[in-house]
Every structure is written in structure tokens, then in C-alpha cells.
Amino acid sequence: MSLLVFTALIALGSVVAGGIGALTGLGGGVIIVPLLTLGLGVDIRYAVGASLVSVIATSSGAAAAYLRDGYINLRIGMFLEVATTLGALAGGVLATWLPADWVSAIFGVVLAASALLSTQPSPAGDGVPGHPLARRLRLNGRLPAAAGGTPYAAAGVPGGFALMFGAGMLSSLLGIGAGAIKVLALDRVMRLPFKVSTTTSNFMIGVTAAAGAGVYLNRGYIDPALAMPVMLGVLSGSLLGAWLLPRAPVHRLRQVFVLVLLALAVQMLYNGVTGHHA
């Protein structure tokens, strides 16, 4: 395979990953890392490094549009970033000591869990009681006028904070935005409206990934020749995904995405258990 074809395949796959990551709040890393390792034979540590750069691009591209539209809850995002950043620093250090087979196996488990979480209905709704800490920190918010302008309250603040630490560790360890865990914390533990959860998750994943990327850069696992087409492709896809969000039936996209996640999870688990890598 020539360098031009290799780069073109990476860029095309990154556009798709960025679009899906922006639409679902799961982050594009769940596609980027398997694409690079399984499809193109890249070492998983370099794939994780490039993916972390792409996650920053996903967040930057989508968050600007979501902030303009009024979906992101900035107070919740910045409060929970304390937990995710600490977790990302811990995960980045841990990742440099774990064997590649272990990282592949953990990635497969996370992919399978993400697929299962994506099939669950959101419990958010009217009348959700807010947590006292949410009122003290003014974490409650209101949907934008285009989405009805309905006020909402944040519940389960301590549980959400704890899950965000785990999400930060997974982000650095696996090179993903850990959006599945973030959406789990925001949507199912803190009981926020679904679009607030996904957009706030997209806002947060960039800060989390930046903390972990610093560790990978210091260890020499970020290759500019690999990271550049990934970043440009994901940024383009995330801008497209942000434009499509108010118009697209996200639940249909999730149904297709679940099948992709399950297929990738099986392959990554197989690689981790058998020690076979593409």
C-alpha cells in the first residue's frame, strides 16, 4: 500500500468517526483505534496517541456549534472536568506500563459496554429532583428555545463525579473520548436531557484527551505523520455531525452504531486474548 493511499484511508475513516462521535457523544476514538490497529496494522500505542489528538479535534469542532445553539451546560462540564482530568493523568501513566494485549482486551470490553449502553433508553424526564449540591453550584439549566426551553435539574452529582474519574482513566488508557461513560454519568446518573448529555460530553472529551495526550507525547507515542490526517478528518466529520444533530434521528444512528461496536469489540477481545495483532 502506498503512502498516499494509506493516508487517504486514514482521513476517510476519520471523517466517518468524527461525524458519528459528534452525533452520539461517544467520541470518535472508538472507531479510530480499531481502524488503525485492525485495518491498517498500526501499533496500538501510536494509534491511541493519534486518537487522543483526534478526540481533541472532535471536541473543538462540535463544541463551538453546540455552545452557539445553547445545548451545552458549561457549569456541569467544567465541574466534572476536575474528575476527568485527574483520571486522564492517572490513565496516561498506567497505559505506558500495560502490555499491548491487555490494552486491546480492555478496549474490547469498553466497546461491548458502549454498545449495550447505547441501546438503553434515557431515564431523563420531567420532575427529576435536583441534588442539593447541584443547586448550590448552580448546575441546573434550561434547554434552548429551539428545543422547547424546558428547565431541567441535575441529580446524582457525587455518582456522576466518581464515574467521570473512571472515564478520564479510560480516555488516556484507550485513546478514546470515553463518551460512553460520560453519557452514562450525565444521562443516567445525573438525569440530564439526552441532547444536553451528548453535547456536554463532546465539550468535555477534548479537555480530558488533552491531559492524556501530554503523557503520550512525552513518551514519544504521537507520530505527527499519523496524527495529522486523523485530526483533519475527525475535525471535518465532527463539524458535519454537529450540523446534522438537530436534524438527524440519532436513535436510528445508534442502532447501526451498536452493530459496529459489537463487531469491533469481538475483534479487539480476540486480539487481546490470543495476542494476535493485525
pLDDT tens, residue by residue, 175-215: 666 776 787 788 878 888 877 888 888 888 777 777 778 87
What are the phi and psi torsion angles at 201 (to 5°)?
-60, -45
Ranges of H-type helices in 96-184: 100-118, 132-137, 157-174, 179-183
Q: How confident is the model at residue 138 (pLDDT cuts 50, 70, 90)?
A: confident
**pLDDT value of position 278:** 44
Mean per-residue pLDDT, 98-105: 76
Query: Residue 41: helix, strand or coil by DSSP?
Result: coil
pLDDT of residue 79: 93
- Global model pTM greater than 0.85: no
Mean of pLDDT over the chain: 79
Q: What is the pLDDT of residues 140-161, one digit of tens each?
A: 888 887 767 788 888 889 999 9
125 or 165, greater pLDDT: 165
For residue 122, the tally of other CB atoms under 10 A from its CB is 15
- Greater confidence (118 vs 56) lies with 56
What sign results for the dihedral spanned by CA atoms 168, 170, 172, 173?
positive
d(CA 75, CA 72): 9
Q: What digits encode the pLDDT tens for the residues 17-51? A: 888 777 766 666 777 888 888 888 888 889 888 88
Mean pLDDT computed over 264-278: 70
Of 175 and 272, the one with more pLDDT: 272
d(CA 107, CA 143): 34
Instruction: Break the chain into its structural domains and give their ranges.
Output: 3-274
- Convert the pLDDT of each residue in 221-268 to its tens digit: 889 889 899 988 888 887 887 787 767 665 666 676 677 678 767 877
